[in-house]
């Protein structure tokens, strides 16, 4: 069917849909089952088997396989039949691969859950009711309702349109918005870019509103036929993962050099080529931190799941890293810093405040109610008002004063609407008023006053003189100084629905509304300042109103400035960058100004978080380091451009997200610190033993066991650590600051040396200090147990920069489980005879166990002593 060549009503009939009531839920369900979800096909995900096989593509694992093959071959050639060691190594490698698949699948599930939470939605008519449903559930024949800021969910034929303009650059490449007309019928061969009676999937409504019937969904849409949009987007590695990948490679090269040296030493000492080769290969695999990027992904995915429960949905993983470094948070005022519960508190004409129940006040409220899209429902105490908070407040005030707000559409039929836009800062409608068409305009006072030629005095229009204009301006400023949001209302007679030019208006009055600050906002602002973050308010309100609220919240203090959009326009980019450091309030700004504000802060080296909810906020959200879209009031366009969605539209949630972002970054550092420290300890233990002329203190199977058990589980448990107290008393982390700055490399090296030294010491004690019992096997057993328990103790030590008694000894449930499992597994290897034979260990006496425990406790004692001393020093 050529949909653009028939009328919208005919298209609905062809699709067996009802324009007034839409599809029934039953019919929609049937069509969804037959047509499929309204989605572009993703690239097919690899199967579990393919993912499992991919785990064996790692260079070190390939070397280990080669070693296994050589070991098997040697056993066959020598006729010994000793295949235990290569079999165990193979089993450990397979288990490691299984853990890798589990981690990847877990991360994928976490990210899929987040995608679903931030998936686009659309308004449809179903069974006569308007509902908001996931865009993926839309089917051909659905009646959809679109307005400014919506993403078009599917291809659709317009039924009615009101000043509709759509940005179709995603489809046509044209940057200019396309004006739409529901009434036109176009030729069959009309190209998509000229189909003014159609809207297409993935395009953006930037003005007006419409009702349309869905004609195509999913892969049948025009965008579904464009090949380059079909490829699934591959999530890029975060900057941190990239840095750690490079570090892992550098350490790997170093480890291979050391392993080559160990192999040569073994051959020179006539330890045997195969044992020396197996030892060096297993040491390489144990030492190279190939799991670092995977651990980072797991910690990030677990972190963003926790953040989602706190009303902050992270759409892109790198945003978590950036959150911890944020230095400026630019926030909208209404609904984010304030409660967005507007109520009318004052009504004024040019001479002053009007009694609330006066005839003039009631007329001003009635005009404001007619020029709005808010709706009333219920009666008496159950009366409720939905829609834009400002419009709902005006409608509620009219209802309270006896106006019949439930029958406005019938009593005062609307002939035309010019929707509100942030550029015009006004909205207008043409309504039948006392049997005559009347144009009603409401919006920002300065904008409306400039369009007025008359003013209403005692119910009659008089010429708007300079004196009267000054009186109105003074009333507006007086209300703004009281922190009221002020809306001006004007009107004029109209010739009909085609006479809607906003000129020669009659000024009716000013409506003042209060929107109190959120109770938690002031505390969040204080937290920001303590954390070294600059809170900035951005609003379209009058500068006096904005400053009054900013002072209440503590955003604007003495010595700091406020700036209007017009003042901002008068500055060049370089001048703005110079002046912006002291500016805490931006009033009367448009979405375009937000982009300049972001760039000016970034030019000063700041890391900027920016909030936004409108379609025109998308460029600013993309320009910011962290774009934060509003989940309740935000448009789908803003959400799709953002890095983070605030499901409660609350400023305090941004601050909490920054705190959690810092905590996640800290946990990643702890996990990386732990892994690198223990890996260095393993390398040094074997390397030092070779230099000292000792037999290897750890055999290949033991090294692989340590790498699998006492590295992976505690590292993942560190990723679940709670955010440390006082984390928001620290300055933001500078992006230019290295991951291993502040002496972290020194700490890692020293900790590695302690672990390595204690392992050699345990080996020496086992070989020399127990008389007749002494042997290399006993020494290896004690070294094996010591390094394993050392790493467990070191993981506990890495939990917090605070002493454990302050952080909470058992406060991390996952770490408790990891410690218990790793300790039990390690003890089982020694105590169970069958496992002891496989791992080349011997049972330990009570004294030997006490020796191992004493040595293994050294990292914990040293670490806790250092943290306690630092804690005492900070007090003084």
- Nearest 5 degrees, angle CA 609-CA 612-CA 613? 155
Per-residue CA distances from 770 to 398, 623, 766, 857 (Å): 94, 68, 7, 21
Tell me the backbone φ, ψ of residue 722, rounded to 5 degrees. Answer: -70, 155
- Coil, helix or strand for 39? coil
Tell me the backbone φ, ψ of residue 729, rounded to 5 degrees. Answer: -100, 0
Residue partners of 102: CB distance under 8 A and separation at least 6? none
Q: Which of 739, 758, 733, 724 is nearest to 673 (CA)?
A: 739
Rounded Cα distance between 784 and 746, Å, is: 25
Answer whether 135's CB lies under 8 Å from 142's CB. Answer: no
Q: Which of 761, 740, 757, 764 is nearest to 681 (CA)?
A: 757
Q: Find tokens 């170093």 and name the residue.
A: 254
Rounded Cα distance between 238 and 324, Å, is: 14
Q: E strand or H helix at 289, and its extent?
A: none
Of the listed 142, 332, 617, 643, which one is catalytic?
Answer: 332
Answer whether 530's CB lies under 8 Å from 324's CB. Answer: no
Q: Find tokens 């129940």 and name the residue.
A: 357
Answer whether 175's CB lies under 8 Å from 185's CB. Answer: no
Rounded Cα distance between 611 and 642, Å, is: 9
- Nearest 5 degrees, angle CA 32-CA 38-CA 39? 135
Rounded Cα distance between 733 and 239, Å, is: 14
* Tokens encoding 505: 């208006």
Answer whether 223's CB lies under 8 Å from 40's CB. Answer: yes
Rounded Cα distance between 181 and 203, Å, is: 16
Tell me the backbone φ, ψ of residue 545, rounded to 5 degrees. Answer: -60, -45
Residue partners of 197: CB distance under 8 A and separation at least 6? 4, 8, 157, 158, 180, 181, 182, 183, 184, 185, 186
Answer whether 171's CB lies under 8 Å from 200's CB. Answer: yes
Query: Can you name the residues that pair with 455 across neighbouring β-strands?
Result: 462, 507
Hey, how many other C-beta atoms are within 10 angstroms of the C-beta on 410? 8
Tell me the backbone φ, ψ of residue 609, rounded to 5 degrees. Answer: -105, 130
- Coil, helix or strand for 520? coil
Rounded Cα distance between 41 and 50, Å, is: 20
* Tokens encoding 642: 């953002």
Tell me the backbone φ, ψ of residue 825, rounded to 5 degrees. Answer: -65, -45
* Tokens encoding 100: 């890798």
* Tokens encoding 61: 């694992």
Residues in the chain, total? 876
* Tokens encoding 821: 């499992």
Burial call 272-290: b when 16+ CB within 10 Å, e when fewer: eebbbbbbbbbbbbbbbbb
How far apart are the two ends of the chain, measured CA to CA in Å?
81
Tell me the backbone φ, ψ of residue 207, rounded to 5 degrees. Answer: -165, 150
Tell me the backbone φ, ψ of residue 463, rounded to 5 degrees. Answer: -60, 135
**Does the active-site annotation cover 742?**
no
- Nearest 5 degrees, angle CA 603-CA 621-CA 648? 130
Rounded Cα distance between 863 and 843, Å, is: 30
Which active-site residues does the annotation give?
332
């Amino acid at each position: 069917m050529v949909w653009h060549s028939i009328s919208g009503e005919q298209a609905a009939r062809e699709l067996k849909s009802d324009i007034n009531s839409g599809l029934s839920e039953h019919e929609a369900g049937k069509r969804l089952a037959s047509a499929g979800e309204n989605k572009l096909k993703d690239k097919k995900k690899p199967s579990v088997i393919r993912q499992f096989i991919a785990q064996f593509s790692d260079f070190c694992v390939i070397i280990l396989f080669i070693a296994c093959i050589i070991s098997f071959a040697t056993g066959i050639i020598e006729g010994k039949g000793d295949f235990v060691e290569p079999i165990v190594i193979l089993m450990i490698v397979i288990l490691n691969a299984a853990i890798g698949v589990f981690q990847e699948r877990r991360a994928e599930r976490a990210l899929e859950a987040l995608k679903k939470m931030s998936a686009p939605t659309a308004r449809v008519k179903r069974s006569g009711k308007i509902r908001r449903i996931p865009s993926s559930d839309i089917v051909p024949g659905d009646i959809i309702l679109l307005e400014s800021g919506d993403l078009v969910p599917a291809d659709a034929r317009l039924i009615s349109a009101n000043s509709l303009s759509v940005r179709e650059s995603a489809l046509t490449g044209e940057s200019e918005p396309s004006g739409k007309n529901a009434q036109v019928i176009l030729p069959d061969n009309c190209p998509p870019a000229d189909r003014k009676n159609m809207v297409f999937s993935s395009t953006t409504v930037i003005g007006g509103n419409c009702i349309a019937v869905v004609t195509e969904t999913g892969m049948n849409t025009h965008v579904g036929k464009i090949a380059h949009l079909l490829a699934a987007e591959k999530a890029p590695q975060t900057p941190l993962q990239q840095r750690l990948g490079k570090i892992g490679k550098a350490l790997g090269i170093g480890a291979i050099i050391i392993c080559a040296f160990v192999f040569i030493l073994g051959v020179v000492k006539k330890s045997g080529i195969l044992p020396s080769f197996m030892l060096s290969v297993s040491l390489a695999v144990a030492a190279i931190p190939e799991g670092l990027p995977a651990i980072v992904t797991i910690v990030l995915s677990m972190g963003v799941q926790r953040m989602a429960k706190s009303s902050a949905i992270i759409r892109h993983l790198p945003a978590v890293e950036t959150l911890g470094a944020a230095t400026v948070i630019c926030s909208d005022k209404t609904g984010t810093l304030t409660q967005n519960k507007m109520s009318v508190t004052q009504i004024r004409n040019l001479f002053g405040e009007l009694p609330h129940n006066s005839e003039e006040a009631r007329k001003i409220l009635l005009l404001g109610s007619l020029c709005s899209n808010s709706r009333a429902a219920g009666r008496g105490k159950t009366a409720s008002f939905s829609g834009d908070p400002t419009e709902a407040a005006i409608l509620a005030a009219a209802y309270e004063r006896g106006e019949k707000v439930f029958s406005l559409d019938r009593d005062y039929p609307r002939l035309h609407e010019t929707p509100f836009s942030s550029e015009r800062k006004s909205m207008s409608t043409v309504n039948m008023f006392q049997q005559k068409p009347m144009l009603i305009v409401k919006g920002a006072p300065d904008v409306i006053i400039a369009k007025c030629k008359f003013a209403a005095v005692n119910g009659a229009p008089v010429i708007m003189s300079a004196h009267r204009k000054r009186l109105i301006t003074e009333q507006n400023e007086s209300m703004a100084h009281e922190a009221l949001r002020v809306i001006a209302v004007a009107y004029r007679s109209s010739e009909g629905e085609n006479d809607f030019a906003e000129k020669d208006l009659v000024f009716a009055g000013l409506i003042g509304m209060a929107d109190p600050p959120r109770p938690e906002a002031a505390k969040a602002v204080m937290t920001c300042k303590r954390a070294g973050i600059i809170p900035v308010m951005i609003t379209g309100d009058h500068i006096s109103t904005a400053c009054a609220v900013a002072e209440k919240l503590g955003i604007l203090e003495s010595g700091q400035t406020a700036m209007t959009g017009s003042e901002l326009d008068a500055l060049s980019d370089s001048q703005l960058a110079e002046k912006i450091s002291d500016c805490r309030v931006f009033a009367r700004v448009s979405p375009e100004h937000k982009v300049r504000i972001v760039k000016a802060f970034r030019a000063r080296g700041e890391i900027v978080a920016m909030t936004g909810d409108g379609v025109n906020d998308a460029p600013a959200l993309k320009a910011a380091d962290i774009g934060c879209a509003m989940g309740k009031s935000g448009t789908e366009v803003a959400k799709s451009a953002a890095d983070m969605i605030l499901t409660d539209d609350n400023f305090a949630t941004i601050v909490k997200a920054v705190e959690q972002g810092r905590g996640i970054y800290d946990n990643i550092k702890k996990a990386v610190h732990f892994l690198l420290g223990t890996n260095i300890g393993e390398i040094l233990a074997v390397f030092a033993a070779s230099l000292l002329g000792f037999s290897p203190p750890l055999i290949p199977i033991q090294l692989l066991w340590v790498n699998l058990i006492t590295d992976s589980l505690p590292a993942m448990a560190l990723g679940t650590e709670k955010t440390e107290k006082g984390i928001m008393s620290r300055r933001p982390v500078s992006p230019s600051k290295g991951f291993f700055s502040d002496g972290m490399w020194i700490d890692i090296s020293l900790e590695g040396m302690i672990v390595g030294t204690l392992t050699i010491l345990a080996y020496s004690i086992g070989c020399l200090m127990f008389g007749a019992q002494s042997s290399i096997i006993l020494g290896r057993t004690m070294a094996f147990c010591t390094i394993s328990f050392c790493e467990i103790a070191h993981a506990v030590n890495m939990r917090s920069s605070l002493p454990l008694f302050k952080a909470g000894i058992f406060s991390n449930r996952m770490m408790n489980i990891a410690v218990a499992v790793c300790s039990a597994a390690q003890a089982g290897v020694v105590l169970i005879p069958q496992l002891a034979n496989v791992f080349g260990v011997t049972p330990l006496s009570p004294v030997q166990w006490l020796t191992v425990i004493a040595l293994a406790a050294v990292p914990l004692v040293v670490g806790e002593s250092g943290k306690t001393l630092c804690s005492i020093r900070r007090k003084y």
